[in-house]
Structure 1
Amino acid sequence: MIKLYRSLVALFVVAATALPAYAANYTLWVNGRTGGGQIGNYNSFTYWGPATTAAGVNKKAVNWDGRSNVSSQNYLIRDALDCFCTGTNWCYIAAHSAGDLMMGYTLANYGGSTRYKKNASPNAAGQCGNSDGSTQVGWNIKWVNVASGAGGGSELSDVGSWTTSEPLVKDLKTTTARALYNHNSTRNVWFYMFAGASGTLYSGILPGQDDEAVAYHSTGGVSGSGGQGLCNPSDWFCNDLNMGTAANEGGSTKWSYHSVKFRDNNESYNHYANGNWGGIISVVRADTVTNAQ
């Protein structure tokens, strides 16, 4: 009888370990300049607004300091992607402002690297343990939604309108941001761009339409070595930022796997969360709630 019991226990253990890990989808929110959330705490949504607000399935805040160089803080993004976007788990990503620069840098430079599959159970530092010791190439990412993307930099960095002592501000200069990594190398992950246009404060500095911090040439994922003036169709004196992947009026094109999903034709959305998922972030949040399931 004891032998039979031990045999049954052994069979149960073997069967349990043979079962595939439970697959889950996660929504990762990557902040921009100034940071705010507690680093390593994926439930700290201080940068965005109330943590109780719906923001996609199994939402997680991927916090970095928002001030240091992209290269020096990038390990935090990789830690989060390893935790939640490997093995049987998949991720939706939402990024704001310099979070676009951070995600683009991550995929271009590390999206083809070998990653250990993780168990989605982070420690206090935001790092997860290995699930079974096996590896994979890159991460399981469905798409990236980008609110006011700064992958193309901002003229506010060029002219010193932001605190020049911040290393990130140097990365955000238009020529620097555009040369920081290969923006066309997204590992076939789509970046859906949401461009705000309620900008007035720096209208003399930012070319074309802007949201007070970043202009359409960046928020629209437009390629090239420098920024240019792009606008809404209602502006007769400026080339249009066209929707989707289509070339813009005047012939400028978007980076590969970059598509304009929202253009602020009514000039209603500025750059800022305002502590309550505000500005252009509100549009991305609504889209993410609908599509990140």
Structure 2
Amino acid sequence: MRPLVLACLLLASAISSQAGATNYSLWINGRGAGGAAGSYADFSYWGPARSGLGVNPRAVNWDGYNSIASQNGKVRDALDCFCTGTNWCYIATFSAGDPMIGYTLANFGGSSRQVSNAAPNAAGVCGVSGGAKQTQIGWNIRWVRAAAGAAGGTELADAGRWTTGEPLVHDLKTTTVRAMYNHNDTRGTWFYMYAGARGSAYSLLLPGQDDEVVAYHSSGGVAGSSGGSYCNPRDWWCNDLTLGAAVNEGGRPKWNNHYVHYRDDAEQFKHYLNNNWEGITIPLRADMEAFAR
């Protein structure tokens, strides 16, 4: 076969393969009740139905109450459904959704996953693709965007400001969640962090800049076994949380593949979205619309 003919056939095959690929935007909620588990169309945790949530948006609902380990299967189901085979995913998280996806990647991102057909049943589980079982290692994830990321924990959980009978509150203690999984092992996936700074009276419990619930040490992906005090550059009384993946002022690094994309220098965004797309989810949503295509 002539080289030119062979090249054309290979190009046609590649185009045909890409034509069957679909991108999805997955939204993983944080603490608190919201959408129905297994329903990828229920965005009630986040707010009223709206456009501009990225390409083919899907809500990855878990109960926001029980432990990360016990609820993690719902996230794996979604990743198996939409992020295998020729399909790829963009992921948005809020608050405890950050350690949820981090835990998933660190503990299961190197496991064999079934290539699924992106057609979930009522429980949110998809069938095999093409009628024949195929597997791959891990998932196809382009990046994660984490608003008010709680993978570093919150001092509100440490101090018992939330009910201590809630399993998730135990997980969100600063030393507990930081020891729960290897935060540096993201399977090569980049986490783009959104750190809010419009604190409140609760700020007395939270070191440095905060959004009422999580301090910059957590929402900025600062590495280590405990929290620390980090601020905006104009605040001289604590070390700066640096933008990008750079080491923070004072010498403490971020976890591997963690990048501060948005730092709330104007101190305008709180934590809570109030089931209305509010707070630090505002810049997150805008960037999902712009970049998740």
TM-score, reference length from structure 1? 0.92
- After TM superposition, give the deviation of residue 170 of structure 1 in Å: 0.2
Structure 2 equivalent of residue 68 of structure 1: 66
Return the alpha-carbon distance in structure 1 between the equivalents of residues 239 and 19 of structure 2. Answer: 51
Q: Which residue is 1:160 aligned to? A: 160
Q: Is the 8 A contact 2:216 2:241 kept in 1?
A: yes
1:234 Cα offset (Å) = 1.0
Partner of 2:142, secondary structure, is strand
On the 8 A contact 2:84/2:115 being kept in 1, the answer is yes
Question: Could you say if the C-alpha distance between residues 122 and 203 of structure 1 is closer, same or farther in structure 2, counting changes exceeding 3 Å?
Answer: same
> Is 2:228 the partner of 1:228?
yes
Matches within 5 A, 1:20-31: 22-31=20-29
SS at 1:103 equivalent: helix
Q: Which runs of 4+ in 1 moved over 3 A?
A: 18-21
1:256 is aligned to 2:256:
yes
| Whole-angstrom CA distance in 2 between matches of 1:238 and 1:67 | 33
Of 249-258 and 45-54, deviating more is: 45-54
CA distance in 2, matches of 1:99, 1:201: 24
Identify unmatched segments of 5+ residues in structure 1.
1-17
Indicate the residue corresponding to 2:78 in structure 1: 80
Aligned residues: 276
State the partner residue of 1:147: 147
Distance in 2, Cα, partners of 1:163 & 1:82: 33
Deviation sequence 1:231-284 (CA, Å, 0-9, x none): 001101111000001111111110000000000000000011122211100110
Structure 2 match to 1:6: none
The residue that corresponds to 2:137 in the other structure is 137
Q: Please give the secondary structure, in 2, of the residue aligned with 1:157.
A: helix
Aligned AA (2:115): K
**Residue 29 of structure 1, CA deviation:** 0.2
Structure 2's unaligned 5+ residue stretches are: 1-15
Matched, 1:114 2:112: yes
User: Using the alignment, how far apart are the partners of 1:189 and 1:224 within structure 2?
Assistant: 19
1:274 equivalenced with 2:274 (yes/no): yes
Residues 35, 63 of structure 1: 8 Å contact kept: no
- Which residue pairs with 1:244 in the alignment? 244
Q: In 1, distance between residues paired with 2:17 and 2:189?
A: 30
| Whole-angstrom distance in 2 between the partners of 1:135 and 1:220 | 35
Rg bigger for which structure?
Answer: 1
Please say if residues 31 and 98 of structure 1, whose CA atoms lie closer than 8 Å, have aligned partners that are also in contact.
Answer: yes
Q: CA RMSD for the aligned pairs?
A: 1.2
Letter in 2 for 1:124: A
2:4 maps to none
Change (3 A) 1:286 1:20: closer
CA distance in 1, matches of 2:58, 2:224: 33
